[in-house]
Amino acid sequence: MSGGVWDSGLSGGEFAAVGGVGFEPVGQVLGTAVFSIGYTGAWGCPGEWSVGDDNTVVPSSRWAPSLAPLVRSMYAARRAALARAVAECGALGGDGIVGVELHVGEFLADGLEFTVRGTAVRARSRIRPRTPFTSHLSGQDFAALIGSGWVPVGLAFGIALAIRHDDWRTSFRVPSLVGRNQEVDGYTQLVSHVRREARRQLVVDTARQGGDGVVVDDVELRVEEKECPAYGSTRDVTAEAVLVGTAIARFGRTGRPAGPRPPLTIMRLERER
């Protein structure tokens, strides 16, 4: 796109920073997808799992269901919205999207709307990326990244979901701890498991995109209680961890040691929401 009027979600400072490293905005882009989220592919109690002596998560019975179909849908919804924003970027002649914001909101009939919004930019250069990059970084952070010899590759996601049935190990323990300061290890194991699995999936997604590392933008942990569908008057505790970041790679890779390396995760030093 050249010579036309463009719009942008960049602030004045971001616009100046992006221009300072050889990029110019070509327009705002939007991608959205509405999904019905809820099917797990499971039946019975979805929370029958436990932690072994080596801290590995194991089913407490051979009938324990898998939450994989639900997690796959959560990835698919985010990637569909992101792909549509990238398609708009390509139609504008952009090389990538900066300042990507991902929002998840409730929709009709128990659906969820996944929305990706950002500003498409184009490099003032003859060198073009094969596919447009995506990055949550602000204009200033994007400029600092380029100036230090790194480039954004794309948004990376790490999503994990686990459900723990409130069995005798917690249902009898929690009332006994009222008025006392003591750990409820069943809940600790649940949230530790989903955080660890989400970090692992984030690294996998970063490597899949060819990134050397990932700069994390958002870390979410949601914990809910629901009535168990299999056992009356009992509860299931659901924990969901979602990590979003930008996979990054060096300009030149000639000096890298031989052999594969796991991507490096870089997280901001800020309080988790």
Give the model confidence (pLDDT) of 228-244 as tens digits. Answer: 766 667 778 889 999 99
Integer angstrom CA distances of residue 83 from 79, 91, 161, 191, 220: 6, 12, 24, 30, 22
pLDDT at 14 > cutoff 60: yes
Domains of the chain with bracketed CATH: 12-267 (3.30.110.70)
Instruction: Give CA–CA dist 29/91, Å, rounded.
Output: 10
Among 121, 114, 88, which residue's Cα sits nearest to residue 14? 121
Name the band, by pLDDT with cuts 50, 70 and 90, for residue 35: very high
Chain-centroid distance of CA 240 in Å reads: 11
What is the reported pLDDT for 85?
97
What is the reported pLDDT for 76?
94
Instruction: Tell me if residue 188 falls in helix, strand or coil.
Output: helix
- More confident: 166 or 32: 32
Beta-carbon contacts of 62 under 8 Å, excluding residues fewer than 6 positions away, are none
Instruction: Tell me if residue 56 falls in helix, strand or coil.
Output: coil
Strand pairing class (133-134; 96-106): parallel
The model carries a pTM of 0.78
What is the reported pLDDT for 42?
54
Residue spans of alpha helices (H) in 41-154: 68-91, 139-147
Name the band, by pLDDT with cuts 50, 70 and 90, for residue 24: very high
What is the reported pLDDT for 64?
43
Instruction: Give CA–CA dist 111/102, Å, rounded.
Output: 16
Give the model confidence (pLDDT) of 209-222 as tens digits: 999 999 998 889 99
Q: How many CB atoms lie within 10 A of CB 187?
A: 17
pLDDT at 131 > cutoff 80: yes
- What are the strands of the beta sheet with 133-134, ordered from one edge? 23-36, 111-123, 96-106, 133-134
Among 273, 12, 21, 4, which residue's Cα sits nearest to residue 145? 21
